[in-house]
Amino acid sequence: MEKDNKNILKELTQPFVDLWHASRALWGVNLSYLIEGITYFGIVGYLVLYFTDIVKLNDINAGQMVGFQTAGITLAMLFLGATVDWIGVRKALLAALFFMLIGRFLLTLSPSISSDTGLWSSTHLLAMLGILGIIIGYGIYQPAAYTAIKQFTNEKTSAMGYAMLYAIMNLGGFLPGIIAPPIRKAFANDQQGMLGVMWVYVGLTVVGIILVSIILSKKIINKTILEVSGETQEKLAADKKAEDEKSAKEKLMFYLKNFPITDFRFMFFIFILIPVQTLFAHNWLTLPVYFKRAFTGVVGDNFEFFTNFNPLLIFILTPMVAALTAKKNTYKMMIYGTFVMAAPTFILALGPSIYTVFAYLIIMTVGEAMWQPRFLQWVAEIAPKGMTGIYMGIGQFPWFLTKVVTSLYSGWFLMKYAPEGVEPSQMNTETMWFIYGCIAMVSSIGLLLARKWMLKGFKG
Centroid of chain to Cα 147: 15
The Cα 151–Cα 157 span in angstroms is 11
User: At 418, phi and psi to the nearest 5?
Assistant: -145, 60
Cβ partners under 8 Å of residue 148, min gap 6: 25, 26, 29, 89, 93
Q: List the one residue out of 143, 148, 171, 69 whose CA is nearest residue 396.
A: 143
pLDDT digits (tens, 9 = 90+) for 203-252: 999 999 999 999 888 888 878 877 766 655 565 555 555 555 566 666 66
pLDDT digits (tens, 9 = 90+) for 106-141: 999 998 887 788 888 888 999 999 999 999 999 999
DSSP, res 52 = I
Domain edges within the chain: 12-455
The Cα 97–Cα 133 span in angstroms is 10
CA distance readout (Å), 88 to 223, 241, 460: 15, 15, 27
Q: What is the pLDDT of residue 151?
A: 84
DSSP, res 384 = P
Q: Where are the alpha helices (DSSP H) in 153-232?
A: 158-174, 176-185, 190-215, 218-229
Q: List the one residue out of 417, 344, 372, 144 whose CA is nearest residue 277.
A: 372
Q: Where are the alpha helices (DSSP H) in 326-428?
A: 330-342, 345-348, 354-382, 388-395, 397-417
Cβ partners under 8 Å of residue 353, min gap 6: none
Question: Sign of the C-alpha dihedral, residues 446, 447, 448, 450?
Answer: positive
Q: List the one residue out of 208, 252, 255, 157 whose CA is nearest residue 42.
A: 208
CA distance readout (Å), 38 to 35, 126, 312: 5, 23, 12
The Cα 357–Cα 297 span in angstroms is 14
Q: What's the 3-state SS for 217-279? A: CHHHHHHHHHHHHCCCHHHHHHHHHHHHCCCHHHHHHHHHHCCHHHCHHHHHHHHCCHHHHHH
Cβ partners under 8 Å of residue 201, min gap 6: 38, 39, 42, 43, 104, 108
Please tell me the number of Cα atoms within 13 Å of 84 on its side-chain side.
33
pLDDT tens track, the chain, 460 positions:
444 445 545 555 555 555 555 677 888 898 999 999 899 988 988 888 899 888 888 888 888 888 888 778 878 887 888 788 788 899 999 999 999 999 999 999 998 887 788 888 888 999 999 999 999 999 999 889 988 888 888 777 777 778 888 888 878 877 887 888 889 888 888 888 889 999 999 999 999 999 999 988 888 887 887 776 665 556 555 555 555 556 666 666 766 676 667 777 778 888 999 999 999 889 878 888 888 888 877 666 666 677 667 777 888 888 888 777 777 777 888 899 999 999 999 999 998 888 898 899 899 989 998 888 888 777 777 777 767 777 777 787 787 788 778 888 998 999 999 888 888 888 899 999 999 999 999 999 999 999 888 877 566 5
**Which class for 302: exposed (0-12), middle (13-18), buried (19 or more C-beta within 10 A)?**
middle
Q: Quick one: fold of 12-455?
A: Growth Hormone; Chain: A; (1.20.1250)
CB-CB contact of 133 with 140 (8 Å): no
